[in-house]
Amino acid sequence: MPRTIPSAPATRLAAPATLCLAAGIFLASAPARADSLTSAPYGTLPDGRPVAQYTLTNAHGITVKFLSLGGCITEIDTPDRIGRFADIVLGYRNLAGYDSDATYFGAIVGRYANRIAKGSFTLDGNTYHLPVNNGPNSLHGGTIGFNLELWKVTPQAVSNGVAAVLTYTSPDGQDGYPGTLDVTVTYTLEDSNALRIDYEATTDKPTVVNFTNHSYFNLGGNGSGSALGALVQINASSYTPTDATQIPTGEIAPVAGTPMDFRHLTPIDARIRAPFAQLILAHGYDHNWVLNKPRPGALTYAAEAYDPANGRILRVFTTEPGVQLYTANHLDGTITGSADSTYRQGDGFTFETQHFPDSPNHPGFPSTELDPGQTFRSVTIFGFSTDR
């Protein structure tokens, strides 16, 4: 797999000429510095275990900060069209927020990202029961998901940027999931101005896996208010409608003629209040799009966000079959974030690359099963650039 961000595939949907740039861009005004990985104490958990914050810095001064707790990405600093840097993800002000997190800000999510209906699934004739933590369903791994675990972090030498390897072993039966699962997640901040996330996992028993990163983006800057004026494109002709509890019905529905159609750059808020049943059920966008793929597992263009006010562009590439656009529908003003501002509905959005929600209960969906002797592998790339 190439270590630089790929160009958009020939089948990519139309976009304005101003967006037809390389995913990485060198800005002369950006502070030049050598690639580096540094760490600093971030606090102590109630049981006395220390948590560290790591900072990845590439050759152009872009930085990504993350915690050993949950691999939570706490900050991504990128320039706008005139070279002014700003943090473009939401986060908490301190460790206490991440340790009691219900928003999953920036976290590695697992064992199973998104929802599993009624907290149960059957695999090889055995039924497994999971904690129910989202209405009648299990969400993002259950009550003690990967976002609340301490990960071992080690540096990794790469030729095109700076990288850190995060490892965690999930014991057999954690939150009801079978098998001891050894997980490796690698964050690589490339000098092409892209954050590459590689996921790998092995198991000693048949199990199911589905990982994602849950960063909330605001291309106007953390704490700048609503992020929903950003223009978004999703390389998908269909999506998976849900029931009232946001579990997929099993249908693969076309986006054409609905507010789910982001095949061309469209402001997120252009149709978010439309009288469309799926938007009403979810209180906004919180859905899985079925990505257009030439073949399963191909690393392809998935989505894009563009802020015309400052020129920032976020492009997403992934090997995963789906992506969840979530518009922070449940931020209600009770969280004061890392920018010392109150977060409200729509102040960020996610591009959660993933297998489909509730796949273990839908044989027609791409399989999330992992057997002993197999290695799960997945790649997602977030490319940062501007329209300059």
3-state secondary structure the chain: CCCCCCCCCCCCCCCCHHHCCCCCCCCCCCCCCCCEEEEEEEEECCCCCEEEEEEEECCCCCEEEEECECCCEEEEEEECCCCCEEECECCECCHHHHHCCCCCCCCEECCECCEEHHHEEEECCEEEECCCCECCEEECCCCCCHHHCECEEEEECCCCEEEEEEEEEECCCHHHCCCCEEEEEEEEEECCCEEEEEEEEEECCCEECECEECCCECCCCCCCCCCCCCEEEECEEEEECECCCCCECCCCEECCCCCCCCCCCEEHHHCCCCCCHHHHHHCCCEEEEEECCCCCCCCEEEEEEECCCCCEEEEEEECCCEEEEECCCCCEEEEEECCCCEEECCCCEEEEEECCCCHHHCCCCCCCEECCCCCEEEEEEEEEEECC
φ/ψ (deg, to 5) at 158: -135, 160
Is 140 among the residues known to form the active site?
Answer: no
Residue 346's closest CA among 275, 285, 299?
Answer: 285
Cα angle: 267, vertex 269, 273; to 5 degrees: 145
Is 352 among the residues known to form the active site?
Answer: yes
Q: Which of 287, 352, 355, 362 is catalytic?
A: 352
End-to-end CA distance of the chain: 29
Where does residue 61 fall: left (phi above 0), alpha (psi -120 to 50 degrees), or beta otherwise?
A: left
**The pair of three-digit structure tokens given for residue 307, joined into one six-digit string:** 């802020």
Q: Which of 214, 287, 355, 362 is catalytic?
A: 214
Q: Which positions are annotated as active-site residues? A: 214, 352
